[in-house]
Amino acid sequence: MASLVSGIFNPISNDEHSRMTKRANAYLKGKRIDPEGITGKESVADLVDNAFLAYNGGRLREGCQLFVQQMLDPDVTVGVSLTGAMTPAGLGMSSLIPLMKAGFVDWIVSTGANLYHDCHFGLGLALHQGSPFVDDVELRENDVVRIYDILFDYDVLLSTDDFTRQVSARPEFQRAMSTAEYHYLLGGYVREREKALGLSRRSMLSVAHELSVPIYTSSPGDSSLGMNVAEVALDGNKLSFDVTADVNETAAIVLAAKRSGGRHAAIMIGGGSPKNFLLQTEPQIQEVLGIDEKGHDYFFQMTDARPDTGGLSGATPAEAVSWGKVDPDRLPDSVVAYVDSTVALPILTAYALNRHEPRPVKRLYQKRDEMMTLLLNEYRAAKKDRDERAVAATSSMTRGGG
């Protein structure tokens, strides 16, 4: 038996084993997989660190650790994009509001639908857990609306529509404005309604108003908020969305983060248009405005979209490098977790709040003019330099042709 064991475990010489070990060590630097058994007493953060060791669990752990250990440094500005029906599922209240109040989210790009449904809660309207396996014809006959397994009365939509129209018709709205301005003003009215109803921490828009967190929508007409603004326009309302202001303001946020000596982090909850709107800030700075920049410093996406279909939702951080969206030198600080956002986001929130102290709120909404001045000055300097080089090149060609 002893000779058999010896033969099994010593099939090569010590010298050869040493050479093989040195070669393998380049790949075997990761922590050994040797977890303790789960007891049921662990915090979410401990569970992530100790049991999410491989596959998409491993990627979620890496994303959580990247967020806490690097993205939440004091000099990092954190932008978040939000897609999918997150707020109807309560994730605005359970996850995003706590992150905002802790100073972990500095600005947001969201679908208009998430912000519209967010208003329901601030207005004291009820959405209910339900089943996805119901008869939708019967729901329609009973004035019940379904978002997969979320059910609510049709009057929830009508009440929110009425509130949106009344607010949008007020004097301070009678002009063109960025979507951040619109959401800030709307959030103030939602906040007043919350107070009147004795509610708190129900609406993302309300909390964003309180904390001066700017919220943008990449497609302002593509939601019930935009639909109601379009309705009041038929009655002569002067409110309109200045989408060019959105493009330049978001680019200014990223540039200001970099020029202050800091860094910028992009967290994408899902994909879609908000993901691109968040990431396109760097191509806007570099490619369009001609300002010297390298890309976002950190990239963390929670998605169920595949990269091989060619859609933006599934595009990887490596692909984003080719567009100038991600700094190639920071590509190792990029994580994609292929996990349902409704699973990943609460875990990320619990992990961050457990592992990191709150940060001071940056209140970027109040700094938009200052950041836009920086962007404009750098754009003008870059444009002047380009124009001078173009004139010099034309002059050189003319002399050569003479």
pLDDT (average), residues 202-213: 98
Select which of 325, 362, 383, 384 is catalytic: 325
Higher pLDDT, 170 or 5: 170
Give the Å distances, CA to CA, from 42 to 33, 47, 351. Answer: 18, 6, 12
Residue 325 designated active-site: yes
pLDDT at 10: 56
Please, what CATH class does the domain formed by 44-116+200-220+239-386 belong to? alpha beta
Residues in the chain: 402
Query: Is 163 exposed, middle or buried, given 0-12, 13-18 or 19+ CB atoms closer than 10 A?
Result: buried
Query: What is the per-residue pLDDT across 33-42, written as a single tens digit (0 to 9) for each?
Result: 999 999 999 9
Residue with tokens 């939440």: 72
Give the Å distances, CA to CA, from 142 to 89, 121, 147, 148, 157. Answer: 22, 22, 15, 17, 14
On whether the CB atoms of residues 99 and 212 are closer than 8 A, the answer is no
Helix H or strand E segment including 233? helix 224-233
Query: Cα separation of 240 and 182, whole Å?
Result: 9
The model carries a pTM of 0.90
Query: What is the per-residue pLDDT across 93-146, written as a single tens digit (0 to 9) for each?
Result: 999 999 999 999 999 999 999 999 999 999 999 999 999 999 999 999 999 999
Task: Supply 342's token pair.
Answer: 């409704």
